[in-house]
Amino acid sequence: MTIKSIDSFPLWQAFFDEFGATSFLPSWEWGEFQKSLGNPILRGGVFDGDCLEAIFLVIKMRSKRGHFLFMPHGPVFRKKEKIQTILISILGFLKKVAQKEKFDFIRIAPFLENAPENYLLFKNLGFKEAPIYLHAESFWVLPLFKSNNQETIFLEETELLSQMRKTTRYLIRKAQMLGLTLEKRKDSEAVDEFNQIYLETASREKFIPFSKDYLKKEFLAFRKTNNSLILLVKTGGHLLAGALILFTKKSGFYHQGASVHSKLPATYLLQWEAIKEAKTRHCHFYNFWGVFDNQSKRNPKSWQGLTFFKTGFGGKLIRYLPTQDFVLSPRYYLTYLWEKLLAKKRGI
């Protein structure tokens, strides 16, 4: 197999839409977003002859925590039975890049389920589990379709509601009865509004927020392909809840969210409208993003309340393999110790 750079958006998008659109992290837009943050990227393809077998996005990270090549949810591959050969080819390629450009390690957040055979696949290639993750590894995903004789049938709203927790259904209807309004926004000024309650949420829940510039650049990168929306729930002009929703061909993603403390069930209406928007776009899944997973040793317990909320809409837990590191320099262990301390501080 050979590795080639991919600079063609149509080539990347066609492969991604077919094999990788259940995560937005390997998307063309995520690469453009990273470039807007000042992070160089490379987009690679693994070819067997003329056949494209896999694609992978790599972000060149240089920060106080260390210098490393990071592959988010990759590689995206055509056939699972070729994954070992694909990984060997990519690893050899990235080692050369790292040596030439002086990176200390390679980090991969695999696009593979958390299963023993996949863990051994990386272990046998010389990887070790990373001390921390850059993206969530356990996700709550709601299927929006059912299969009937290999035909894809999208679920009706009544079917989606019937799968929800009784309290969740009640609070969605209550929000509608109370006349809460929802705005679907594509203007960049909506990010400014969202950021107001996002900062309030970060202060209340004690997490470090992304900057408004980061949020706006993420929104704009996906807006170029009509794959981002800001949803805002209000009452009497007062903002109660908001979210940045991202889309691929197959999935909608609740990636950034915020709300004020209120007895009004604004967050329930917001999620229901986001689910309906994903359904309108013929997405196969709605992804609530990260949740608490009692089988993971590095999930913050502070996620339990949010997880209870998300699971009330129905769906299933998806576990990806923990983030993996390939060590190239002794300097990696300074990063390892620093991230171990950071993980302890964050309760993960």
What is the per-residue pLDDT across 54-99, written as a single tens digit (0 to 9) for each?
A: 999 999 999 888 899 999 999 999 999 999 999 999 999 999 999 9
Alpha carbons within 13 angstroms on the beta-carbon side of residue 289 total 18
Question: Domain containing 52: what range?
Answer: 2-134+321-346
Tokens 């620093």 label which residue?
A: 338
> Average per-residue pLDDT in the chain?
94
Distance CA 287, CA 313 (A): 11
Q: What is the pLDDT of residue 302?
A: 67
292/248 same-domain check: yes
pLDDT in tens, 294-321: 877 666 666 788 999 999 999 999 999 9
Q: What is the pLDDT of residue 300?
A: 64
Q: Does 124 share its domain with 168?
A: no
Residues 82, 117, single domain; the answer is yes
Mark whether 129 and 150 lie in a shared domain.
Answer: no
Rounded to 5 degrees, φ, ψ at 240 are -110, -35
CA distance 287 to 260: 22
pLDDT grade for 10, boundaries at 50, 70 and 90: very high
Same domain, 111 and 22: yes
Q: Residue with structure tokens 């390690």? A: 105
Same-domain pairing of 113 and 257: no
pLDDT higher for 299 or 275? 275
Same domain flag for 37 and 153: no
Return the number of other C-beta atoms located less than 10 Å from residue 15's C-beta: 21
Same domain, 147 and 281: yes
Query: Residue 320 has what DSSP assignment?
Result: B
Domain count across the chain: 2
Q: State whether 119 and 173 are in the same domain.
A: no
d(CA 266, CA 175): 6
Q: What percent of the chain has pLDDT over 70?
A: 98
102 shares its domain with 202? no
pLDDT on residue 149: 75
pLDDT for position 292? 86
Render pLDDT for 161-183 as a digit per residue (tens, 0 to 9): 999 999 999 999 999 999 999 99
- Is the domain of 288 the same as that of 266? yes
Amino acid 345: pLDDT: 78
Mean pLDDT to the nearest integer, 13-23: 95
Beta carbons within 10 angstroms of residue 58's beta carbon: 25
Q: Does residue 125 sit in the same domain as residue 147?
A: no
How many angstroms separate the CA atoms of 215 and 193, rounded? 12
CATH number at residue 225: 3.40.630.30
